Amino acid sequence: MKLNINTASKANLPTTSAQRNIGSYGDDTAGPTLLCICGIHGNEPSGLQAFHRVLATLKEEEHEVRGHLVGLAGNLKALKQKVRFIHEDLNRIWSVARITRVLEDSVSGNFQNAEEEEQAEILHHLEEIFSQSKGPIYVMDLHTTSSVSQPFVTINDTIRNREFAKNLPFLMVLGIEEFLDGTVLSYVNELGHIAIGVESGQHQDPYSIVWHELAIWLALAHSGCLQSELPHHIKEKVQLLATTEKNVFEVRHRKELLKNEQFEMNPGYTNFDNVKKGQVIAKNVHGNIQVPEDGQILMPLYQKLGEDGFFIVRQIKPLWLGISKWLRSKGVHRLLPYLPGIRKYQGQGHELLVNTKIAKYYVIEFFHLLGFRKKTQMGRHILFSRRKYDFEAP
Ligand SMILES: [Zn+2]
């Protein structure tokens, strides 16, 4: 759904705009817009620092751009207090229903909590940035993790997101939105813009800033925004990383944290460590927590605040990525409602209901290949929804 967020302009907005807009570079010429969202989690300031570095170099070396680069700070109150969030995770409240209510609340200025106030103001800025843009829009959401990590990119699995994310010399994780509701990336994606998340490393690791800086420069270059050459120190890093592996993974499992379960990761796990089915990697009030299937661990929780204990991901072979792109380009998904056990949901073409008693094997994998995400499980039925704007902008 394309949201009309005009109401935010008339609302009583909080007065923190000066810090919200962390800077921009470019001019009025038609060209792409690259928007960086920095610190939507308040204990992750790396993106802000990287953005300032990029901005300083752009100005100092007088780089030429078409379109512009703009940076928005995420959770300002939480950034000040150096905590992930104040009342709730600002990166889990971007559902259509929630946004509609927050926009209503913004008219009176009576917000229900700190994060809703932050969200209203970010929405206002997004509306302004998107409406003024004179070309394609690219959004990068800059994060870090509580565990030690090599940098990786997370995307909603559209071909357009994949192609753009491939320009970064990092590992890629597809389909995390199937497990996380209400992320800002999904919201922006649904509007039809290309959107990628960059998890650059551990919160306090100085290299996290370096990788975020590299990500911003490469996004500037590959979006067509940057007209001059990359700065010398960035070119050096690109060369250094030219031969690193850029494996692609899909998310298979999320350990959701329940209230008062006293979840505790066993020490020593870092992102993309191999784990085996049955391996004990954490504990809670009920005892040991085992890994449900072979794979690699992602984002094990080594901080107090958070709703995800860990994720399990699995590598996708390049061949399957190629097959998936080809199948989607041929529109194979249109044949699905004619297969046994599959029917359109409430007459909608982009949502399909699958009876797993009839369609039994590799159902989720097959639907992923064709560009669908699993929405919900309803008894023996699974509801899949096809991702919008897979190949083309709206
Ligand atoms: Zn984060």
Domain end marker among 199, 223, 240: 240
Quick one: 273 and 349 in the same domain? no
Quick one: 208 and 128 in the same domain? yes
Gap from CA of 184 to ligand 1 centroid (Å): 11
Gap from CA of 241 to ligand 1 centroid (Å): 24
Quick one: 195 and 299 in the same domain? no
Gap from CA of 44 to ligand 1 centroid (Å): 6
Report the pLDDT value the prediction gives residue 60, as an integer from 0 to 100.
96
Gap from CA of 59 to ligand 1 centroid (Å): 28
Gap from CA of 182 to ligand 1 centroid (Å): 13
Gap from CA of 177 to ligand 1 centroid (Å): 14
Name the residues around ion ligand 1, CB cutoff 5 A. Answer: 41, 44, 143
Quick one: 70 and 207 in the same domain? yes
Residue 391 lies in a domain: no
Quick one: 207 and 65 in the same domain? yes
Residue 267: domain span: 249-316
Gap from CA of 203 to ligand 1 centroid (Å): 9
Quick one: 126 and 108 in the same domain? yes
Report the pLDDT value the prediction gives residue 373, as an integer from 0 to 100.
86
Report the pLDDT value the prediction gives residue 304, as an integer from 0 to 100.
82
Gap from CA of 326 to ligand 1 centroid (Å): 33
Domain end marker among 240, 262, 281: 240
Gap from CA of 173 to ligand 1 centroid (Å): 15
Report the pLDDT value the prediction gives residue 11, as an integer from 0 to 100.
38
Gap from CA of 41 to ligand 1 centroid (Å): 5
Quick one: 325 and 289 in the same domain? no
Gap from CA of 155 to ligand 1 centroid (Å): 14
Gap from CA of 352 to ligand 1 centroid (Å): 32
Gap from CA of 68 to ligand 1 centroid (Å): 25
Domain end marker among 316, 333, 356: 316
Domain count, the chain: 3
Residue 166 lies in a domain: yes
Over the stretch 93-106, which tens digit does the pLDDT of each residue have?
Answer: 999 999 999 999 98
Residue 394 lies in a domain: no
Gap from CA of 27 to ligand 1 centroid (Å): 30
Gap from CA of 86 to ligand 1 centroid (Å): 14
- Please report, in tens digits, the pLDDT of each residue of the chain (394 residues total): 333 333 333 334 344 444 899 999 998 788 999 999 999 999 999 999 999 999 999 999 999 999 999 999 999 999 999 999 999 999 999 999 999 999 999 888 889 999 999 999 999 999 999 999 989 999 999 999 998 889 999 999 999 999 999 999 999 999 888 888 899 999 999 999 999 999 999 999 999 999 999 999 999 999 999 999 999 999 999 998 888 888 999 999 999 998 888 999 999 999 999 999 999 999 999 999 999 999 999 999 998 888 899 999 999 999 999 999 999 998 888 888 888 888 888 877 688 888 888 877 788 888 888 888 888 888 889 888 888 888 888 7
Residue 282 lies in a domain: yes
Residue 2 lies in a domain: no
Residue 362 lies in a domain: yes
Quick one: 68 and 23 in the same domain? yes
Residue 326 lies in a domain: yes
Quick one: 152 and 166 in the same domain? yes
Over the stretch 334-375, which tens digit does the pLDDT of each residue have?
Answer: 888 888 888 888 877 688 888 888 877 788 888 888 888 888
Gap from CA of 353 to ligand 1 centroid (Å): 33
Quick one: 32 and 158 in the same domain? yes
CATH number at residue 22: 3.40.630.10
Quick one: 184 and 255 in the same domain? no
Quick one: 296 and 357 in the same domain? no
Gap from CA of 220 to ligand 1 centroid (Å): 22
Per-residue three-class SS string for the chain: CCCCCCHHHHCCCCCCHHHHEEEEEECCCCCCEEEEEECCCCCCCHHHHHHHHHHHHHHHCCCCECCEEEEEECCHHHHHHCCCCCCCCHHHCCCHHHHHHHHHHHHHCCCCCHHHHHHHHHHHHHHHHHHHCCCCEEEEEEEEECCCCCCEEEECCCHHHHHHHCCCCCEEEECHHHCCCCCHHHHHHHCCCEEEEEEEEECCCHHHHHHHHHHHHHHHHHCCCECCCCCHHHHHHHHHCCCCCCCEEEEEEEEECCCCCCCEECCCCCCCCEECCCCEEEEECCEEEECCCCEEEECCCCCCCCCEEEEEEEEECHHHHHHHHHHHHCCHHHHHHHCCCEEEECCEEEEEEEECCCCCCCHHHHHHHCCEEEEEEECCEEEEEECCCCCCCC
Report the pLDDT value the prediction gives residue 71, as an integer from 0 to 100.
97
Residue 1 lies in a domain: no
Report the pLDDT value the prediction gives residue 109, as an integer from 0 to 100.
85
